[in-house]
Amino acid sequence: MSDDEVRDAYLQSALKHAPDALAGPPPALSEAILREAQAKARDPRTAPHAPSRKSWWDWLSRPSAASGFAGVMLAVLVGLMWREQASDLGPLREPAQAVSPATGVATPATAPQAERMADAAASEARPQLEGKVERQRAEAPKQTPKPAPAPVLAARKAAPPQAVALAEASPSPAPPAAPAATQAPAAPLPPATAIASAKIGAMADAVSNAAAPVPAPVAEAAKPAATPPVEVAQAETRAQARSERSPQAGLAAIAGASTHTLARMAPALPAPAVAALTALRQALATEPARWTWQRGSDTPPQPVTPALRDWLATLDQAAAGTPWQPALPAGSAPAQALRLLRDGQVAELLWWEGDSLRWQHGTQPPQQLSLPSGQGQALQQALDDAVR
Amino acid sequence: MTPPPSAPEPDSDDALMRAYALGDARAFEQLYSRHQAGLYRFVRRLLGTALAAQTDEVFQDTWLRVVNARAQWQPQGASFRTWLYTLAQNRVIDIWRRSGREVAMGDSEDGTPWEPTGGDAAWQQWPAPPSPAPQGDELAFWRRAGERLLACLDELPLPQRSAFLLHHDDELPLAEVARALEVGFETAKTRLRYAMSKLRTCMGAYLAPLQKETS
């Protein structure tokens, strides 16, 4: 049997002679069809791109793809909300120092807040590590005198034995840590910044790699210290700029938020006096309007002059090779001590005890810089000239 | 024996359609001029006398579907011509249904090809098929036979009508008819045989009085 069916010649002949055998489309209809076809041929958008758009929408309409897309959108939303929350908490830091009504002691107002935010960031960024961190916190009292981050440890190893002993004996590790830092001048970051950096690095690692080791919670055990607000503001600015540069990167945004939060922890961390002195000079340079000075509590505050800033620079240079040490006996500042006021509040006190310069930063115990006789007298004279 | 698949000729339907999909409007014009008359006739005869007024609409829609589907068009075993007639037939089915007519796609066939009993017996009293250019009475006879055939076509169900037209008028092989109708080969064959049998019967009934007149 043939694959095809034989055509009936009679029926075929009848078809060929039917009245409509020569019928064709009206010329106007043919023109319209050809015109449409030409128009579509000239339009490059319809041919290659239409199917891709259609297939994209078809793909997106699948339940699996739609749920995945919704998940990504939700993650972006949560990231944005987290970033907003971190920004909204910024003004809480504004009163940089507040006097505690109970103790009359000035403490950085944002330290507890920053600590809470850091803890919140840690718990949100790496919930699976929470247990590990909690275990380490529980062990912290036993290990408090043994800070874990490598920079601090290295600085302590380089410090004189008595300084380390003081650090371990004192509940406030900031002042004893100062000599340790001066023993390691090559390190560009002071220990407070190093600790903060270590924690920031740990947070970033926790975000990107949950299995990464976590440094011991030194920051939680640390007391408020001397990093001035200007550094905090700079850290915030850097963090904000970083997050604005790459708003699309969710992890980077979270890491930026962590940095933002942890940067505000910096004042709560111990810092050596030499770094604080440098930071004080930076603060005077960047926020001159907020700073005034007075000698004697009954004299009116006066704006910080370039001469005074130059004297601080000279002091900074003179202190570079000489360690600051706790002032013993501590005593109290005399009436003629130089007071540096920030927003009208006494922030720094400087006075002379012989050839030794004493400096009380905030409410911390005063520290002492013992200078050679000639250099001490020269600095005294220079200070008198600068604030005359 | 089926020849091995090879690259289409430069002016084949498939090649022209591919060229049009890439933006060559002239390729479409060639395709159109090649198939417009046959398609128009097919649509008109498939719609029948009652729905002939909608021939232009179906014809235009069919070509516009070709235009709009140019990017997705793939030969996939069927020729452009087969695909074109499939589009037209589907559009005609829409018109039929819209007009309230029943489109019985199941027919009476169940896969077993129907075998005609009479065969060419219906044509025993007919004159021989005409020459390519009949003249005079012969031409008049076949014109009237053509008129009669159109009337007989109107009596056929749509599936049989389309099978017959594709096979006898447009001369598609039966396998292509099956593809165009989107049915199996045997189903297409059965439809075709039913159509031919009914048409022979219808035309034979016409011939008897005609032959009486001529004799």
3-state secondary structure chain A: CCCCCCCCHHHHHHHHCCCCCCCCCCHHHHHHHHHHHHHHHHCCHHHHHHHHHHHHHHHHCCHHHHHHHHHHHHHHHHHHHHHHHHHHCHHHHCCCEEECCCCCCEEECCHHHHHHHHHHHHHHHCHHHHHHHHHHHHHHHHHCCCCCCHHHHHHHHHCCHHHHHHHHHCCCCHHHHHHHHHCCCCCCCCHHHHHHHHHHHHHHHHHHCCCCCCCCCHHHHCCCCCCCHHHHHHHHHHHHHHHHHCCCCHHHHHHHHHHHHHHCCHHHCCCCHHHHHHHHHHHHHHCHHHEEEEECCCCCCEECCHHHHHHHHHHHHHHCCCCEEECCCCCCCCCCCEEEEECCEEEEEEEEECCEEEEEECCCCCEEEECCHHHHHHHHHHHHHHCC
User: pLDDT digit of tens for each residue in chain A (388 aa)?
Assistant: 456 778 888 888 888 889 888 888 999 999 999 999 998 887 755 554 445 555 666 666 667 778 888 889 999 999 998 887 776 655 444 444 444 444 444 444 444 444 455 455 445 444 444 444 455 555 444 444 444 343 433 434 444 444 433 334 334 333 333 333 333 333 344 444 444 444 444 444 443 443 333 333 333 333 444 444 444 445 444 545 444 444 444 444 433 444 444 344 434 334 456 677 788 888 888 888 888 888 877 788 888 888 888 888 888 888 777 778 888 776 777 878 888 888 888 888 888 888 888 888 888 888 888 888 788 888 888 888 888 7
Write the single-letter amino acid at B109: E
Do the chains contact at B145 and A3, CB–CB below 8 Å?
A: no
Closest CA to A387 of A331, A287, A318, A315: A315
Residues 162..201 of B with a Cβ closer than 8 Å to A: which? 164, 167-169, 171, 173-175, 189, 192-193, 196, 199-200
Residues of A in contact with B70 (CB under 8 A): 40, 47
In this prediction, the answer to ipTM > 0.85 reads no
| Burial class of A86 by CB neighbour count within 10 A (0 to 12, 13 to 18, 19+) | buried
Give the per-residue pLDDT at A328.
Answer: 74
Residues 105..144 of B with a Cβ closer than 8 Å to A: which? 120, 123, 126, 129-130, 134, 139, 142-143
Residues of A in contact with B197 (CB under 8 A): none
Say yes or no to pLDDT of B90 above 80: yes
- Here the tokens at position A330 are 């501590």
A172-202 pLDDT, tens digit per residue, is 333 333 333 333 333 344 444 444 444 444 4
Min Cα–Cα distance to chain B from A261, Å: 55
Min Cα–Cα distance to chain A from B189, Å: 7
The mean pLDDT of B175-196, rounded to a whole number, is 91
The alpha-carbon radius of gyration of chain A (Å, integer) is: 36
Residue pair A338/A380 in contact (Cβ under 8 Å)? The answer is no
Closest CA to A170 of A364, A370, A369: A364
DSSP symbols for A324-344? EEE-SS-----TT-EEEEETT
Do the chains contact at A15 and B167, CB–CB below 8 Å?
A: no
Burial B84-103 (b: 16+ CB within 10 A, else e): bbbbbbbbbbebbeeeeeee
In percent, the amount of chain B with pLDDT more than 70 equals 73
A84-115 pLDDT, tens digit per residue, is 777 665 544 444 444 444 444 444 444 444 44
Give the per-residue pLDDT at A342.
Answer: 86
CA distances from A205 to A72, A208, A215, A255, B192 (A): 21, 5, 11, 9, 76
Half-sphere exposure of A277 (CA within 13 A, CB side): 29
Match 């022979």 to its residue by tokens. B200
Closest CA to A385 of A319, A341, A353, A338: A338
Residues forming beta bridges with residue A370, ordered by sequence position: A356
Which residue does chain A place closest to B129, by CA atoms? A10
* Predicted model pTM: 0.42
Residues of A in contact with B123 (CB under 8 A): 8, 10
Residues of A in contact with B119 (CB under 8 A): none
Peptide bond preceding A329: is omega within 30 degrees of 0, i.e. cis?
yes
Residues 19..78 of A with a Cβ closer than 8 Å to B: which? 19-21, 23-26, 29-30, 32-34, 36-38, 40-42, 44, 46-48, 50-51
